[in-house]
Amino acid sequence: MTSISPTTPEPPDTQITHPDGRVSLADGVTPDDPRFANDDLLPIRVQDRTWGTYNYTALWIGMAHNIPSWTLASGLVALGMDWKQAVFVIALANVIVLLPMLLTGHAGPKYGIPFPVLVRSSFGLRGANLPALIRAAVACCWFGIQTWIGGQGIFLLLGKIFGGWTEAGEIGGYPWTLWLCFLIFWVLELAIIYRGMNALRRFENWAAPFVLVGAVVLLVWIANKVGGFGPLLDQPSKLGWGADFWPVFFPALMGMIGFWSTLSLNIPDFTRFGKGQRAQVWGQSLGLPTTMTAFALMSVLVTSGSQAVYGAAIWDPVQLAAKTDNVFGLLFGLITVMVATISVNIAANVVSPAYDLSNLLPKFINFRTGALITGVVGVLVMPWKLTSSPELYIFTWLGTVGGLLGAVAGVMIADYWIIRRTHLHLADLYDRQGRYWYRGGWNLRALFAFLVGGTLAVGGSYSTVNAKGEKLGPFPADGLIPFLKPLADYGWAVGLGAALVLYSLLSFRPRSTSSSA
């Protein structure tokens, strides 16, 4: 096996470095081992890397404008923050998460490879399946939940248009019309993604401005009804900016970072289509933090207006849109909900597992097959049960997996930027005789760093106790590993930082030496 030193000479006959810095396989070099390669996993040809700044900006606008991100600010206000503190936390979180997004996204336009292939350089050709399947599992659950939320939105708005729609006979505890909305929405999503990534790009290009207009229309509508934005903007923070604020600030910040931490891993699935680094850097920088901050601000303003009009704060935009009796307004709201939810779901929760599952069995699973499997798994996890039990999903699933994904990101960033200095050998990423095979297809250093980082991140997971002494969640009140409990509120950051440092120390080799990988 060869050295992982970044100064190892590049095989001149396997890849070409173009004048703009992008790299492609040399003519005639086509990895064909069906265990590690298929058409969807091979590097995108340079001439086919065509996504520009607008495509990435539109991608993020389309993904950020969805029902869960609209309600993020409500959760922070419920914790006692005022609107300025809530918007500040969301803005800061998205600036922070942008950094690993850009770092991992760099390999996309440079090499044209997706996330599960990129992670082979650090975990090994077989070991890459571990982080890929963890990421795929999260995406499948999120896909099911977002589809259920979208189906509920359609169901509610159609109930306002067609009388009796919501009072239909029940199947499994829900009206059959709700199941029908869920099924139609599910089929529509898979039909779009089945047409491939170019269809997704075209959809995001027009979905982004449409959803943005929809949010502005909702803001103008509620402002017109109330003649202002109500009393919520004048309500003081219950926490202040002193000692009561900071114990809430840091866990809340980690939660807001965690909202997009999954994409910080698999963003190469999208940036691999980029025409250059400028496109992905500017596109993501213009699209992510600005959109999430503006969306949070709009949600606060709209909700404050609902407080004045209806006497109660309505954070759910679907519930608010359903308050109107105007048929055109209801139809516009219905289309907006559909476009917004489809936009985020197929981009954030179908693309990744489609590639990840393809990486598991390239010979039998291509991108389209992986997308269909994702859709099926998204139903089998019974998202209606997950959303009905937030303790189960938030504490057991998202909290644990979020810390593990942070550890994966730490290993990836350390390997690509610190150890290899962005230098990869494309052909070896598909070759069991190459430098990324390690030992039996696994890089034990990466596995160890991941396990340590993941343990530090989630080992202290605990459940809070309410005023009645009831435990809210499945974990012990003192934490799974009590002495790690102080780290639990910072899980994603702890996992990323610990794995990055440990992997760097374990993998570092002096430039002048060559050692076995």
Encode the chain (517 residues) as per-residue pLDDT tens digits.
Answer: 333 444 445 555 788 999 989 999 998 888 989 999 999 999 999 999 999 999 999 888 878 877 777 777 777 776 777 788 888 888 998 999 899 999 999 999 999 999 999 999 999 999 999 999 988 888 888 888 889 888 888 887 788 777 777 777 888 888 899 999 999 989 988 888 877 767 777 777 777 787 778 888 888 888 888 776 666 566 677 777 877 778 778 777 877 787 787 888 889 999 999 999 999 999 999 988 998 888 888 888 887 777 777 777 777 777 777 777 777 777 777 787 778 788 888 888 888 888 999 998 898 998 889 889 999 998 898 888 776 655 555 555 566 777 888 899 999 999 999 999 999 999 999 999 999 999 999 999 999 999 999 999 988 887 776 667 666 667 787 888 989 988 887 888 899 999 999 999 999 776 544 333 4
Domain count, the chain: 1
Distance CA 150, CA 185 (A): 7
Q: Measure the CA angle with vertex 444, ends 442 and 446; round to 5°.
A: 95
In a domain, 515, yes or no: no
Instruction: Name the residue range of residue 146's domain.
Output: 51-381
- 39, 362 Cβ separation under 8 angstroms: no
- 324, 157 Cβ separation under 8 angstroms: no
In a domain, 440, yes or no: no
- 22, 109 Cβ separation under 8 angstroms: yes
In a domain, 346, yes or no: yes
In a domain, 61, yes or no: yes
Q: How many angstroms separate the Cα of 215 from the Cα of each of 149, 202, 232, 323?
A: 18, 21, 19, 16
Determine the pLDDT at residue 466: 66
Q: Indicate the SS3 state at residue 25.
A: strand
3: CB partners within 8 A, 6+ apart: 435, 509, 513, 514, 515, 516, 517
Widest distance between CA atoms in the chain: 77
The CATH number of the domain where 343 resides is what? 1.10.4160.10
Q: Indicate the SS3 state at residue 79.
A: coil
φ, ψ for residue 506 (rounded to 5)? -70, -30
Half-sphere exposure of 158 (CA within 13 A, CB side): 17
Determine the pLDDT at residue 511: 55
- Whose tokens are 């435990």? That residue is 471
Determine the pLDDT at residue 202: 79
Alpha helices in 361-398 (DSSP H): 367-380, 383-388, 390
- 426, 282 Cβ separation under 8 angstroms: no
In a domain, 308, yes or no: yes
Please name the helix (run of DSSP H) or strand (run of DSSP E) that holds residue 102, with its range, or none: helix 83-105
In a domain, 333, yes or no: yes
Determine the pLDDT at residue 183: 92
- 196, 367 Cβ separation under 8 angstroms: yes
What's the gap between Cα 171 and its chain centre? 32
In a domain, 483, yes or no: no
Q: Which residues of 211-239 are buried (b: 16+ CB within 10 A; e: fewer)?
A: bbebbeebbebbbeebeebbebeeeebeb
In a domain, 491, yes or no: no
- Whose tokens are 């997009």? That residue is 260
389: CB partners within 8 A, 6+ apart: none
